[in-house]
Amino acid sequence: MAKEDLSETLLVAPALEQDGLTETVTGIDQNGRAAEAHVPVENPLTLFLNGQEIVTMMTIGDYPDCLAVGYLLNQNMLRASDRITAIEHDAEKARITVRTERRTDYEWKLRKRTLTTGCAQGTVFGDVMESFRTVTLDKDARMRTSWLYALVHRINRQPSLYLKAGAIHGCVLCEEDRPLVFMEDVGRHNAIDKIAGYMFLNGLDAAGKSFYTTGRLTSEMVIKCVQMRIPVLVSRSGFTASGVALAREAGLTLIGRAKGRRFLCLSGAERLIFDAEDSDE
């Protein structure tokens, strides 16, 4: 089946042409013949906030400004009201610095962090759950099954690094049946942070939006989606028990195993509108 190129309608599409995101390696196949494969390249990127070292992330390296800002937002180190005065990326030294008008000091916060199940070592800091429990998601938001099926179809056929090289996760910000922002990285937490950063830097509001990920619906993915105030989270993959429990606590609509015209909703089913015909596919 032909791929569907949404590059002209997406605000951000996978950076297929950027140098250094993948490389070609040689090996042998199951028949002992010489074979080549494209593989993603992951490199460290150390994030600083106003001169304070925060974390070193493993990333493919595209959209470093969005990744840095999104990470800080989702860890409550950057506030929605903050004014960013500069973002300084030094590719040679593998570091990026975000500077704000507000003075910051997160030494106390850096002492307590939890390593998550995300690829490339995601982290969640202790006070994130405190803010998580203060978020109220839009109860009037809706997800039509016709939108859901269209999104799954379009996203799975969009040219991407995953289709080119595999071993990578994708996240997509959507509105109704339209993918808007498509980011990829070696860790799904990086991909979602890139979208959070893009939304902040471009003034893109969460109202009317949904979120799609290729990865598992874990506690970290649920927490970050709620932090971003997006009420619907969809994945082609499955769930973890903690992810489901947190989604129910937050009132997040959690849809997994979304393939073709099949899905399973384990939280927030009241937002679903069944306007597509049943299918046994």
Query: Rounded distance, CA 161 to CA 174, Å?
Result: 19
150 within some domain: yes
Distance between CA 70 and CA 56 in Å, rounded?
14
Rounded to whole angstroms, the Cα distance separating 273 from 269 reads 9
Cα 232 from Cα 137, distance rounded (Å): 9
pLDDT of residue 42: 93
In a domain, 97, yes or no: yes
pLDDT in tens, the chain (281 residues): 455 556 567 999 888 888 889 999 999 999 999 999 989 999 999 999 999 999 999 999 999 999 999 999 999 999 999 999 999 999 999 999 999 999 998 887 777 664 444 444 445 556 778 788 899 999 999 999 999 999 999 999 998 888 888 888 999 999 999 999 999 999 889 999 999 999 999 999 999 999 999 999 999 999 999 999 999 999 999 999 999 999 999 999 999 999 999 999 999 999 999 999 875 55
Sheet holding 52-59: strands in order across?
A: 52-59, 43-49, 95-100, 84-90
In eight-state DSSP terms, residue 239 is B
4 assigned to some structural domain: no
Taking every pair of C-alpha atoms in the chain, what is the biggest distance, in angstroms? 60
Query: What pLDDT is stored for residue 120 in this prediction?
Result: 42
pLDDT tens-digit profile of 143-183? Answer: 999 999 999 999 999 988 888 888 889 999 999 999 999 99
Three state DSSP letters for 120-153:
CCCEEECCHHHHHCCCCCCCCCCEEHHHHHHHHH
In a domain, 155, yes or no: yes
| CATH number of the CATH domain containing 221 | 3.40.140.10
203 falls within a domain: yes
pLDDT for 1: 45
Long-range contacts of 16-24 (CB under 8 A, 24+ apart): 16/159, 16/160, 16/161, 16/164, 18/62, 20/61, 21/60, 21/61, 21/62, 21/161, 22/161, 22/164, 22/165
d(CA 225, CA 3): 28
Does residue 205 lie in a domain region?
yes
Name the nearest CA neighbour of 89 among 81, 100, 79, 99: 99
Report yes or no on 1 lying in a domain. Answer: no
How many Å from the N-terminal Cα to the C-terminal Cα in the chain?
16
For 190, the domain range is 10-281
Is residue 2 in a domain? no
Please count the structural domains in the chain: 1
Tell me what the pLDDT averaged over the chain comes to. Answer: 90
Q: What is the pLDDT of residue 191?
A: 95
Output the pLDDT for position 9: 76
If you ran DSSP here, which 8-state letter would residue 244 be given? H
Tokens of 178: 């339209």
Give the phi and the psi of residue 62 in degrees, each rounded to 5. -85, 155
